[in-house]
Amino acid sequence: MSRKYEDLTITKDGQLLLKKAEHDQVETVWDRYQAQLPQCGYCDMGLSCRICIMGPCRVDPFGEGPQQGVCGADADIIVARNLGRMIAAGAASHSDHGRDLVEVLAEVAEGRAPGYTIVDEAKLKSLAAEFGVAVDGKDPLQIAKELAAAMQEEFGTRKKELTLLKRAPAKRQDIWKKLGIAPRGIDRETSEMMHRTHMGVDNGWVSLLLHGMRNALSDGWGGSMIATDVSDILFGTPKPAATTVNVGVLKEDQVNIIVHGHNPVVSEMVLQACQSPEMLQLASAKGAKGINLAGVCCTGNELLMRHGVPMAGNHLTTELVLATGAVDMMIVDYQCIMPSLGKVAACYHTKMISTSDKAHFPGMEHREFHPDNVADMARMVVKEAIDNFGRRGRVYIPVEPVNAIGGFSIETIIGALGGTPQPLIEAIKAGKIRGAAGVVGCNNPKIKQDYGHVTLTRRLIENDILVLDTGCAAVANAKAGFKVAEAINYAGPGLKEICGALGIPPVLHVGSCVDNVRILGLVSALANALGVDISDLPVAGAAPEWYSEKAATIGVYFVASGVYTVLGPMPPITGSMNIVNLLTQGLNDLVGAVFAVEPDPEKAAILIRKHIETKRQALGLPFLANVG
């Protein structure tokens, strides 16, 4: 295929490795995307339904063909049901990840998870207190046992509401109660969404979307929040640490192991194994200068945040990183792992290992990791990676890595501010920082890789808007060089002054996708300090290149929490103008925030800046009347 690599990705490593992949006749996500064009217009608009076997059905958007499915569902019902199921899948993914961590915590408490410990005891205790678990006089393992049991309860039916909703400002909690969307149980809301969207249950597009918000909130203030907090308890609450990013983090003279996926349960143990003297000795005996563990996607982000482990790339780089020929092993857990990876790896010497009982892939060897065997399994696979080092062919690592700082948990951000959000509030009030934006989410071959994230972020910081980022957006911004102290030179004068004084970059890496809840934590702290609701703050969210169901769920819980959110790619909703209008306008009356869709990041930046100035004006703060 003849094409310009510059049209597919803004990254130098991506462009060079795409060329290499083409030379090696390796098919990538961009080739497969091309082969799918034109994609189905009905599906694109959300107008096709395959929920039952009277179908599949579709509604004609031009009014000429059928306007109802076999069951009688019209465009509004079909679009709402499809969106509802998308939200349910996203919530289920994050929340199941959270459940896996709670199970590890329970096993640690019982002494059945050798290798894991309680790293952040203070967080264990504060979380236990939130869940009503008495901590005085108890040893940490006993607290962990009771906390894990209390958290497991959250997943089922609690009848009232999730414990962590209390972290939201009181005004926000009231809105959820009034609308009847305060989530009751993490699994319950997902399960109810699947029920409601079965043929012949909920056929009200408004009630379906309201439940969609309840379902998404069960992730944001439930499953994902638990995932982040329990990860911090088990592996440490992140602190700023230097790291490096892009494919250049691979080392020609070392054993390169890549971890991919989301749950740090496996990758943390792989890291320990890579650092063990026994493995380092083995590597040296095989002629390697060391063992270089690097990450991609969110498992990578988890390790980057807590240990400064280098990051080889984000979603669309996951195949290309293998095309370097330098990866001796890729170890995957779950989510966002393209099923093509085994096939790509087969063109090189890379050994592919899948580790989760719930995630199997073609072309990978399956080694199931469980809490009781994980330390042994980690050593075993690292040893295999070392053995594989000698099988390498020619290696192509075409770029130098870029420096970055990660590890901005909310505790760290507040700590950097001197222990209270007040200095940030003062800077916002004075207009030195106009506001803050969360830039989050994926890569998607429909958008030039990283262009959306990097362009939007550049425009925001230029205009004195502090950016917090997560997931693949965070990796994109790190590759672009926005995460070093010197990056204040990209920022506007006010943001430059504040970040310069604090010694932090203008773009703060707050973690993986489940860590978007850290952003919820920060906006709650700001709102509480100001005595307002989240929807009153000069803040916004953006997912400029999103692709996944999880990202859809994050967007919905951001909006339902009061954060105006701009999506790059259009969700499959344009088949129902009722739904488009509700999501982009009507929700303002219900939750005080809406979605906007704007694939052009230059224009998305203007939308966000306008929104932030409007909120500043409403708060009685100095505002700019003419933006854009």
Interface positions, 15-54, toward ligand SF4 (CB under 6 A): 49-52, 54
Binding mask 322-351 for ligand BF8 (x = CB under 6 A): --------------x---------------
Binding mask 480-519 for ligand SF4 (x = CB under 6 A): ----------------------------------------
Cβ 442 to ligand BF8 shortest distance, Å: 3
Comparing CA positions, the residue from 224, 295, 237 lying closest to residue 266 is 295
Do you find a cis peptide bond into 56, omega within 30 degrees of 0? yes
Token duo for residue 474: 């965070």
Token duo for residue 50: 């395959």
- E strands along 344-457, which residues? 351-354, 365-366, 402-406, 435-439
Which stretch, 15-23, 109-117, 208-216, 544-552, contacts ligand BF8 (CB under 6 A)? 544-552
For 165-212, give the DSSP string: GGGS-HHHHHHHHHHT---S-HHHHHHHHHHHTSTTS---HHHHHHHH
Comparing CA positions, the residue from 487, 433, 479 lying closest to residue 454 is 479
73: contact with ligand SF4 by CB under 6 A: yes
Report helix, strand or coil for 112.
coil
Q: Could you tell me how far CA 12 lies from the centroid of its own chain?
A: 24
Q: Which residue in this structure is represented by tokens 């290149």?
A: 545
Applying CB under 6 A, what is the total number of residues that bind ligand SF4?
Answer: 14
Cβ 505 to ligand BF8 shortest distance, Å: 20
Torsion (CA) 441, 86, 445, 405 in degrees, nearest 10: 10
Cα-based distances in Å from 117 to 59, 199, 275, 379 = 54, 47, 17, 18
Q: Which residue in this structure is represented by tokens 């349910």?
A: 88
Which stretch, 1-9, 64-72, 134-142, 208-216, contacts ligand SF4 (CB under 6 A)? 64-72
548 binds, among ligand BF8, ligand SF4, none (CB under 5 to 8 A by kind): ligand BF8
Cβ 76 to ligand SF4 shortest distance, Å: 12
Which stretch, 14-22, 65-73, 277-285, 340-348, contacts ligand SF4 (CB under 6 A)? 65-73
Cβ 334 to ligand BF8 shortest distance, Å: 10
CA gap 557, 212 in Å, rounded? 9
Cβ 277 to ligand BF8 shortest distance, Å: 32
Cβ 50 to ligand SF4 shortest distance, Å: 5
Sequence-separated (6 or more) residues with CB below 8 Å from residue 156: 185, 187, 188
Q: What are phi and psi of 260, to 5 degrees?
A: -140, 140
Could you say which of 19, 61, 70, 462 contacts ligand SF4 (CB under 6 A)?
Answer: 70
Q: Which amino acid is at 102?
A: V
471 binds, among ligand BF8, ligand SF4, none (CB under 5 to 8 A by kind): ligand BF8
CA gap 90, 256 in Å, rounded? 31
Q: Is the dihedral of CA 408, 227, 187, 135 positive or negative?
A: negative
Query: In 10 A of CB 420, how many CB atoms?
Result: 12
Report helix, strand or coil for 404.
strand
122: contact with ligand SF4 by CB under 6 A: no
447: contact with ligand BF8 by CB under 6 A: no
Contact indicator for 331, 258 with CB cutoff of 8 Å? yes
Cβ 124 to ligand BF8 shortest distance, Å: 25
Angle between helices 277-285 and 264-275 (to 10 degrees): 60
Could you say which of 91, 148, 216, 298 contacts ligand BF8 (CB under 6 A)?
Answer: 298
Q: Which residues are 296's β-sheet partners?
A: 260, 313
CA gap 468, 461 in Å, rounded? 11
Closer by beta carbon to ligand SF4, 71 or else 119: 71
Q: Is the dihedral of CA 265, 266, 267, 271 positive or negative?
A: positive
350 binds, among ligand BF8, ligand SF4, none (CB under 5 to 8 A by kind): none
Comparing CA positions, the residue from 11, 90, 35 lying closest to residue 440 is 90
Cβ 72 to ligand SF4 shortest distance, Å: 7
Cα-based distances in Å from 175 to 166, 336, 564 = 13, 33, 16
Closer by beta carbon to ligand SF4, 59 or else 304: 59
Which stretch, 71-79, 90-98, 399-407, 502-510, contacts ligand SF4 (CB under 6 A)? 71-79
534 binds, among ligand BF8, ligand SF4, none (CB under 5 to 8 A by kind): none
Could you say which of 97, 550, 609, 616 contacts ligand BF8 (CB under 6 A)?
Answer: 550
Binding mask 238-277 for ligand BF8 (x = CB under 6 A): ------------------------x---------------
Interface positions, 265-324, toward ligand SF4 (CB under 6 A): none
Q: Indicate the pairing of strand 402-406 with strand 241-245.
A: antiparallel
Cβ 530 to ligand BF8 shortest distance, Å: 30
Could you say which of 315, 434, 509, 518 contacts ligand BF8 (CB under 6 A)?
Answer: 315
Cβ 437 to ligand BF8 shortest distance, Å: 16
Which stretch, 75-83, 251-259, 305-313, 548-556, contacts ligand BF8 (CB under 6 A)? 548-556
Q: Which residues are 366's β-sheet partners?
A: 354
CA gap 590, 37 in Å, rounded? 38
Closer by beta carbon to ligand SF4, 52 or else 359: 52
CA gap 270, 181 in Å, rounded? 40
590 binds, among ligand SF4, ligand BF8, none (CB under 5 to 8 A by kind): none
Cβ 368 to ligand BF8 shortest distance, Å: 22
Report helix, strand or coil for 389.
helix
Applying CB under 6 A, what is the total number of residues that bind ligand BF8?
Answer: 15
Cβ 181 to ligand SF4 shortest distance, Å: 25
50 binds, among ligand BF8, ligand SF4, none (CB under 5 to 8 A by kind): ligand SF4
471: contact with ligand BF8 by CB under 6 A: yes
Positions in the binding site for ligand BF8 (CB under 6 A): 262, 297-298, 314-315, 336, 441-442, 471-472, 512-513, 548, 550-551
Positions in the binding site for ligand SF4 (CB under 6 A): 49-52, 54-57, 69-71, 73, 78, 199
